C-alpha cells in the first residue's frame, strides 16, 4: 500500500542489559518468493513461517490480482493455489507495492513474459527508486515499459506476447534483478541464462529447483552462470520459511552494544549469501556462539547466543558486501560503539535502497556525535568506544525501515535518548520489532505529534 498514514515519531532511551529470547519473523526475501512461485505453480502450495510484514502482504495482494488464490490459514501459515506458468490474468487495477522494491521488481519480472499490461506504483520511497535495471532486461524478452522520467514508478509494463529467452549479465550485484530475469525466463521458450559476477542471495535459484524447474548453476571465469529451461510445470510445494538473518541482526547488534546483555536468537538462517554481517561482527570481536547448527526448510540455520562485547573497528572486505547489503546501516551503529574506525567500501548500492542509506546513516550519526567520512561508494565510521556515543538527536528515516530500526538501536546504548521521525515503516519487514525489543529490555516509546 502506498504510504502508511501519519508519521509516528519514536524515542529510544538508554536501557539496562538486554536478556531473553528473540524469535524474529520469517525471511522477507524467501516469503516474497514463496508467494510468487506458489502463484506460478499448478495446485496448492502450503507456506509456514511467512513474514506477515506489509511488503510481503502487498505481494500476496498482487498475486491475487493476477488470478492466484492466496489465503492466510493461521499465523504465518498460508495457502496459495497457483495459476501455472503463463497463466497470469491481467489485473484490473493498478498494482501498489507500497515500500517494497523486492515485490515490485520480482513481480515485474514474472509478468513481463505474459501478454498482459500492468501498471505499478508505490509509496514516495519506491516511486523514487530506479527501475531501468529491471525494464532493460525485460525489453530483451520483448516487454515494453512506460514509466516516469528516469524509469521511475508509476510505470506501465506491456508484457511480451511472444517472449524470447535471453542471455543476460547482471550489471550490478542485485538479487532482485537476477531474480526478475529468471522469473521472466519461466514463461519464455528455451533456455534463459543469467550471469552474475558476484554471488548474491540465491533463494530464487534454490526455490525454483524445489518447485521442479530445470535450473543449473555453474561457477565459471565469467561468474555464476545460471541456466533455466523455460515453460516448466511448477509443482506446488510445502515451504517452511526460516527466520530472517537481516531482522535477527537488530537484536543481535543491540545485545552487542548494550552493556551486560546476554540473549538468544534461535533459528536464524546462515545461508552464506546472507550471513556476511555475522562474519563481520565476529571479526570485530563479537561474542556470538552458533549453537545447534542444522538445516530447516532447505536453509542452514543456527541458534545464536549473543553477549555484550567490547568491539574493535575493522575494514569490511568489499567482496562481502552482497552477503550483508541490508546490514550496513545497523553495522554503522555497532561501529559507532567500537574502538577505532570501521571502513565499509564497495557499498554504492546502498544509495538506491529504500533511502540513500549512506547519506541517511551519515547525517543521523553525525547529529548524535559520531565522526563520519563518506564518498559515493564508501562509509567510514570513527568509533567512539563502548558507551561513547552522545545521542540526543532526532534522526530522519526517509521511509526506510532499516534506518529507523538502526537509530532506535543507537538510542539503547547512547548517553542520551535518540528519536526518529517515523517508526511506521518498521512494519514493512519487522512488524513485531517494538514488542520484541521491549521484551528484551529496550525502552521504546511512541511520541505524540
Q: Say if CB 425 and CB 400 are below 8 A apart.
A: yes
- State in angstroms the smallest separation of the CB of 27 from ligand S3P: 9
Q: Say if CB 53 and CB 427 are below 8 A apart.
A: yes
- Only segment of 85-93, 112-120, 170-178, 411-419 that touches ligand S3P (CB under 6 A): 170-178
- State in angstroms the smallest separation of the CB of 203 from ligand S3P: 7
Listed in order, strand segments (DSSP E) in 84-222 are 95-96, 117-121, 144-148, 152-158, 167-170, 191-196, 215-220
Which grid coordinates are listed for 288?
556470538
Site pattern 100..119 for ligand S3P (x: CB under 6 A): --x-----------------
Q: Is 59 in the site for ligand S3P (CB under 6 A)?
A: no
Q: Say if CB 28 and CB 244 are below 8 A apart.
A: yes
Nearer to ligand S3P, 179 or 187 (CB): 179
Site pattern 408..447 for ligand S3P (x: CB under 6 A): ----------------------------------------
Map the footprint of ligand S3P across residues 348-367, applying CB under 6 A.
349
- Give the one residue of 2, 12, 29, 397 binding ligand S3P; rule: CB under 6 A: 29
- What is the rounded distance in angstroms from the CA atom of residue 224 to the CA atom of residue 332? 30
Catalytic site positions: 326
- Give the one residue of 59, 99, 114, 174 binding ligand S3P; rule: CB under 6 A: 174
- State in angstroms the smallest separation of the CB of 390 from ligand S3P: 30
Measured over the CA atoms of residue 316, residue 318, residue 321 and residue 326, the dihedral's sign is positive
Nearer to ligand S3P, 16 or 171 (CB): 171
- What is the rounded distance in angstroms from the CA atom of residue 220 to the CA atom of residue 290? 32
- Only segment of 172-180, 273-281, 283-291, 294-302 that touches ligand S3P (CB under 6 A): 172-180
Q: Is 2 in the site for ligand S3P (CB under 6 A)?
A: no
- Only segment of 65-73, 173-181, 294-302, 335-343 that touches ligand S3P (CB under 6 A): 173-181
- What is the rounded distance in angstroms from the CA atom of residue 426 to the CA atom of residue 409? 13
- What is the rounded distance in angstroms from the CA atom of residue 272 to the CA atom of residue 252? 18
- Give the one residue of 58, 96, 244, 326 binding ligand S3P; rule: CB under 6 A: 326
Q: Is 125 in the site for ligand S3P (CB under 6 A)?
A: no
Which residues, including other chains, have CB under 8 Å from residue 314's CB and lie 6 or more apart? Answer: 280, 283, 284, 342, 343
Nearer to ligand S3P, 15 or 153 (CB): 153
Tell me the DSSP string of 24-62: --B-HHHHHHHHHHHHHBEEEEEEES---SHHHHHHHHH
- What is the rounded distance in angstroms from the CA atom of residue 355 to the CA atom of residue 338? 25
Tell me the DSSP string of 69-109: EEEEEETTEEEEEEE-TT-PPPPSS-EE-TT-HHHHHHHHH
Map the footprint of ligand S3P across residues 179-218, applying CB under 6 A.
179, 201
Query: Which of 34, 26, 156 is CA-nearest to residue 91?
Result: 156
Nearer to ligand S3P, 96 or 326 (CB): 326
Q: Is 269 in the site for ligand S3P (CB under 6 A)?
A: no
- Give the one residue of 34, 37, 65, 175 binding ligand S3P; rule: CB under 6 A: 175
Terminal CA-CA length for the chain: 23
- State in angstroms the smallest separation of the CB of 129 from ligand S3P: 9
Nearer to ligand S3P, 96 or 205 (CB): 205
Phi, psi (deg, nearest 5) at residue 155: -150, 140
Footprint on this chain of ligand S3P (rule: CB under 6 A): 29, 102, 174-176, 179, 201, 325-326, 349
Amino acid at each position: 500500500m502506498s504510504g502508511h498514514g501519519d508519521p509516528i515519531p519514536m524515542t529510544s532511551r538508554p536501557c539496562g542489559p538486554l536478556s531473553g529470547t528473540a524469535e524474529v519473523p520469517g525471511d522477507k526475501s524467501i516469503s516474497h518468493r514463496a508467494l510468487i512461485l506458489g502463484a506460478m505453480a499448478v495446485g496448492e502450495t502450503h507456506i509456514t513461517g511467512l513474514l506477515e510484514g506489509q511488503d510481503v502482504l502487498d505481494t500476496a495482494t498482487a498475486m491475487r490480482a493476477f488470478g492466484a488464490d492466496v489465503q492466510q490459514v493461521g499465523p504465518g501459515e498460508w495457502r496459495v493455489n497457483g495459476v501455472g506458468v503463463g497463466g497470469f490474468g491481467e489485473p484490473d487495477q493498478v498494482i501498489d507495492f507500497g515500500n517494497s522494491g523486492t515485490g515490485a521488481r520480482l513481480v515485474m519480472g514474472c509478468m513481463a513474459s505474459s501478454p498482459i499490461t500492468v501498471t505499478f506504483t508505490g509509496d514516495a520511497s519506491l516511486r523514487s527508486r530506479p527501475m531501468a535495471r529491471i525494464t532493460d532486461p525485460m525489453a530483451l524478452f520483448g516487454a515494453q515499459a512506460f514509466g516516469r522520467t528516469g524509469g521511475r514508478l508509476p510505470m506501465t509494463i506491456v508484457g511480451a506476447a511472444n517472449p524470447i529467452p535471453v542471455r543476460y549479465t547482471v550489471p550490478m550485484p542485485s538479487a532482485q534483478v537476477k531474480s526478475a530475469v529468471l522469473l521472466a525466463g519461466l514463461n519464455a521458450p528455451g533456455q534463459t541464462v543469467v550471469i552474475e559476477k558476484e554471488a548474491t542471495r540465491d533463494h530464487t535459484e534454490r526455490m525454483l529447483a524445489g518447485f521442479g524447474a530445470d535450473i543449473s548453476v555453474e561457477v565459471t571465469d565469467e561468474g555464476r552462470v545460471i541456466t533455466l529451461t523455460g515453460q516448466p510445470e511448477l509443482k506446488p510445494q510445502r515451504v517452511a520459511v526460516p527466520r530472517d538473518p537481516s531482522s535477527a541482526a537488530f537484536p543481535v547488534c543491540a545485545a552487542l552494544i548494550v552493556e551486560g546483555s546476554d540473549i538468544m536468537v534461535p533459528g536464524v538462517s546462515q545461508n552464506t549469501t546472507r550471513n556476511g554481517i555475522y562474519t563481520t561482527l565476529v571479526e570485530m570481536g563479537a561474542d556470538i556462539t552458533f549453537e545447534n547448527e542444522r538445516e530447516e526448510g532447505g536453509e542452514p540455520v543456527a541458534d545464536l547466543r549473543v553477549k555484550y562485547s567490547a568491539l574493535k573497528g575493522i575494514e569490511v572486505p568489499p567482496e562481502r558486501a552482497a552477503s550483508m547489503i541490508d546490514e550496513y546501516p545497523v553495522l554503522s551503529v555497532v561501529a559507532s560503539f567500537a574502538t577505532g574506525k570501521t571502513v565499509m567500501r564497495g557499498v554504492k548500492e546502498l544509495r538506491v535502497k529504500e533511502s540513500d542509506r549512506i547519506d541517511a546513516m551519515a547525517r543521523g550519526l553525525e547529529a548524535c556525535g559520531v565522526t563520519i567520512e563518506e564518498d559515493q561508494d564508501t562509509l567510514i565510521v570513527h568509533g567512539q568506544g563502548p558507551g561513547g556515543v552522545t545521542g540526543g538527536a532526532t534522526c530522519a528515516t526517509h521511509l526506510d525501515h532499516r534506518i529507523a530500526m538502526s537509530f532506535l538501536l543507537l538510542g539503547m546504548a547512547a548517553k542520551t535518548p535518540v528519536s526518529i521521525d517515523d517508526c511506521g515503516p518498521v512494519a514493512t519487514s519487522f512488524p513485531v520489532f517494538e514488542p520484541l525489543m521491549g521484551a528484551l529490555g529496550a525502552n521504546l516509546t511512541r511520541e505524540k505529534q
